[in-house]
Amino acid sequence: MDFDLNEEQRMWKKAVHDFVAAEVRPKAHETDETGEFNWPAVRKMGALGLLGLNIPEEFGGAGVDAVSAAIAIEELGWACGSTALAIAAHNGLGTTPLVLYGSEELKQKWLPLVASGKGKLGSLALTEPGAGSDLQGIQTKAEKEGNEWVINGAKMWCTNASIAEYIITLVRTNPAGGSHSLSMILVPTDTPGLSIGPPEKKMGLKGSPTNAVTYENVRVPLSNLIGEEGNGLCQTLTTLDGGRISIGAISVGLAQAALEHAVAYAKERHAFGVPIASFEAIQWMLADAATEITAARNLVYYAAWRKQQGKPYTQEAAMAKLFATEMGERVCRNAIQIFGGYGYSREYPVERLYRDARLMTIGEGTSEIQRLVIARHLLSGQGSV
């Protein structure tokens, strides 16, 4: 009933599933409890191509199609939400702007390193204390001095900042404002003046570091500009479209894991002398979960397919993220309900899955923003009805 995958995609799905089942899922509970990033598994991902999903082979990446990239992120979500988010942010946010808009020099310098597993990851800094959904409100500024950019400002909720080789930073390069006032600049994390705060204390996804970042007279070469000056907003919106597919894919993976745990538990747990799986109340929750997961997976894969075909996919990506993330939270919540009191215990994985799923309706564009994107496409005549 799922999206019709070709033979190569099915083989890829199995290869990734087998890898994450062996290297990532067994560490998921420990990753959540300790908050430590699973570097041992991530170091092995370079050889499989998981750190270069969107990176062309000439720069050391896997260069897989967009559906295969979504499959990989879904499988990571099934295994561990924390690791999945970090790898999704690395691929979708930390490398995509460089792949799409970066100079040949920047690509050659950074992409092989972050795709290999030998270096650290990529990161993207957008959100500020006073600018989240409203990117036009960004205050971090970059000014030209000789052959350098001088950057001052502050970012927050920056995924991977503390485990990154560089942070692609959205900055204001034109104080006059307007849609062409922002630009993207690559800032290596060892640059003087760049300060990365401690990991945020979060409800879930504790093994995926999220940090505040401050820039105090941070100087980088003018050549670290990604794309053309003033095109940062457009580049960011395009990057986020792809990132939304990834967040939808993580949600599908989390929900799939929750359903599998719920089905197994419903068969084992007895009440009133019979397995609770024999009760309609339980069966209906399982049936709804399976139906919604299938629908969400198809929405995610369809948006990825449109991206791969070079077709407009902004509306489809928003739909996929909206439905998949809200579905994921619902399925994980019901999995806890099926487990009863045990589901509320940290000894059982559905508790962690629910906490991890909760972010997905917020990050990379809230559900409310997705509804705005979809509605505006419909009302403008650009979208499909």
**In whole angstroms, what is the distance from residue 71 CA to residue 314 CA?**
19
The H or E element that residue 8 is part of is: helix 7-23
Structural tokens at position 65: 């199609």
The H or E element that residue 332 is part of is: helix 314-339
Q: Is 382 exposed, middle or buried (0-12, 13-18, 19+ CB in 10 A)?
A: exposed
**In whole angstroms, what is the distance from residue 78 CA to residue 254 CA?**
5
- Is residue 129 within 8 A of residue 154, CB to CB? The reply is yes
Among 141, 122, 138, CA closest to 130:
138
**In whole angstroms, what is the distance from residue 236 CA to residue 182 CA?**
10
- DSSP 3-state assignment of 124? strand
For residue 312, the cross-strand partners are: none
Distance of CA 112 to the CA centre of its chain: 21
DSSP label at residue 128: B
Which residues are annotated as catalytic?
364
Q: Is 366 exposed, middle or buried (0-12, 13-18, 19+ CB in 10 A)?
A: middle
Q: Where are the beta strands (DSSP E) in the chain?
A: 121-125, 141-145, 148-159, 164-172, 182-188, 194-196, 210-221, 225-226, 270-271, 274-275
Among 230, 214, 229, 220, CA closest to 146:
220
Cβ count near 69 (within 10 Å): 27
The residue whose two tokens read 């099915």 is 10
- DSSP 3-state assignment of 217? strand
The H or E element that residue 374 is part of is: helix 367-380
What single letter denotes the amino acid at residue 369?
I
Residue 103 backbone zone (phi > 0: left; psi -120 to 50: alpha; other: beta): beta
What single letter denotes the amino acid at residue 321?
K
